[in-house]
Structure 1
Amino acid sequence: MLSAQSTPVVRATLPAVGASLGQITELFYRRLFEEHPDLLKNLFNRANQANGTQREALAGAVAAFATVLVERPDERPDAILSRIAHKHASLGVTPDQYTIVGRHLLGAVAEVLGEAVTPQVAAAWDEVYWLMANALIAQEARLYAQAAVANGDVWRKMEIAERQEESSSTVSLVLRRPDGLPAASFRPGQYVSVQVQLPDGARQIRQYSLSSAPGQKTWRITVKREGAVDGSAPEGEVSSWLHAHAQVGDLIDVSLPFGDLVLPEGDTPLLLASAGIGITPMLAMLDHLALASSSRRIFVVHADRSPADHAHREEQVELVSRLHNASLHLWYEAGAGELTALGASDGRVTFDAVTLPQETTAYLCGPLPFMRSVRGELLTKGLNASAIHYEVFGPDLWLSK
């Protein structure tokens, strides 16, 4: 809870800080990387820095956190921070790094806002930052403790046991421990980080959902090769490297599993809605449910460009067929006629022909416009907002839009 003396100061200055967060975060990252260039090469996603999405995500998170502190002081902003904490844990972030970040972030606030940052204002926003930082540090410490590792000690060598081309742009890698012991347990829906050394010496990290059920000796990830977009975005550095170079027998650096989009226990109906590579956490959930012979009512929805682009399509169909109370609904931008036997449809996802019980818990994964559209339609159908959960691949821009 923000102190009594800082609350009115933050409330009064929040509009000015919020309006300048784009400039603040841009200056913050520039100063941070000037002093610590190794962080850009070996911890932060260079592509997200180049296209500005990481700055936008940070600005959205700070603004949302500060707003909760001053407008809803009795509310714990854990939901805002949980996704960040899991991401940080998967990167091996440690408490000492928050001191470095705080110094540069608060310095950027002072520089951008100039004389408006009086000692009182500086102290109030320092308090905001450390409330957020300490809450993240505490959450991350709990995640490390649950994984039975020291802070930041999440990286392990994993051997590629199998490689399978799933579509023209996706490949699955089955990972096993080199010592032959079972891979660490995880919850359906979680992800791991993968770190690779690129030709320029940088060690870049990306997250990939575990795309098969837990409880097996191995893990599986499915990697979509991110291609260049109209010259405005470069090829994905890590995904392209994995597609070109990852072979059976290779050892790669992989983190322990993290992520807060996880399959809930119980018997409430489930909606698993995905688009494109967003199918991966849903596959782990489906696989787990099928292995458990679940009797839950399950609605599986997937959208893709075409049947040929639909990674793991046959596997998804097979898993749904093993669940006697599950139904599959497919939408394609083109080519739905190839799958008339499965009732595939052309166009964007709609729920006109799907009757969802109001107690349904929904899980969404895919591009942000897809998830926003689906969430809006689910709300109009009476689902509770608290029952709709989502996973974002990359910077979480949900709060900043």
Structure 2
Amino acid sequence: MEKTVVIAGGGWGGCAAACSARRAGARAVLLERTDMLLGTGLVGGIMQNNGRLAAALEMEALGAGELFALTDRCARHRNVSFPSHAHATLYDVGLVPGEVLRHLRSLGVEVVFQARVSGVEREGDCLQAVLCSDGRRFPADAFVDATGTAGPMANCQRYGNGCAMCVLRCPSFGGRVSLTGLCGVAEWVGEKAGGGPGAMSGSCKLHKGSLSRALQEKLERDGVAVIPLPPPLREDHLAQKACQQYAQASYRDNLVLLDTGHAKLMTPTFPLEKLRQVPGFENARYEDPYAGGKGNSLRFFAMAPRDDALRVEGVENLYCAGEKAGLLVGHTEAIVTGTLAGHNAARQLAGRPPLVLPRALAVGEAIAYVREQMATGEGRRKKYTFSGSVLWERLGQLGLGSVDCGEIAERVARTGLTGVFAE
């Protein structure tokens, strides 16, 4: 009988885990709490900026380039530069979710919507089944926790400025419930740079049609617009951001807009009355979150203690992916961890030892380094991404920051792992 991997959470990490488990020969069942896939990927859209390109090229050489190729096919803009970021691809947030769903189904992944995990059945160190809030039961041989770290509403209300009315839609579909937490595993909590739990999402989205025609045309032509702000209109949210790669003066002194279908505003919040004083923004309206003039979603409240194979400590057959795997920010980071988690779940069912990506690769270094940093108080106050800040700087110091395709293919070949995820 075909063995089953159940993945809880349909963000980029969960989708990558489902693809990877299915490609490795397991039956894959993907449970998504809401009625759409991709989670924050529904309003994100940035790929390949800085070291994310190196990570994507490594994953392609490792045999897991399909989701990166899919976002490329849905790109609105390629090779875009904006402050401190180069060669970015901006995908269309309106097109990608449907493309991902069709791809999953073409592989034979079973996608179940409005399936909010709320309970577990466990025997000893092994998880037997997950239970949904509507009474459905999903037994499996291995599991992947990709439930994320944002929400539920109580966290945004207690540590933020209330429910931000974001794309996660906790009031309608129920708040996030951690599969790892349901198994009784104590989770890591990230911290703001200035103290306190969690971190605020790093951007919000404006309805592009609410901007001036000149701004719309610039965005659609160039993919990016940088509008200087006079000092009285500046807002300093740099210390609040989950996305530390954008916690720079350029993002305080300017409005930085990216075209991902929405006009992506690279600041967690900006008061609407101030925003409408900027030429071109007189009719500006927030698209996500609707409370973007005041608040944004809070993240990094529940990360799984895990090893470098992404197996959760204390549960023999549970793996983790996406933000659940640590203080990793971004779609590329979620795809990397999801791919490894799904692959290792399938390897376990086939009786094979887990794969640990070597630290000679940028993706392996990221997974191991973040695990080490999460064990320290100082490390939990930082965020890690291939596109900037702490991790990108470290990769450069280790000589792992090259974005040369041939050099990266040779690097992967030296590890003996070329095409490993395609097995």
Q: Same fold, TM exceeding 0.5?
A: no
The structure showing larger relative contact order (alpha-carbon pairs under 8 Å, at least 6 residues apart) is 2
Q: Which has the larger radius of gyration?
A: 1
The normalised TM-score by structure 1 is 0.29
Structure holding more helix per residue: 1
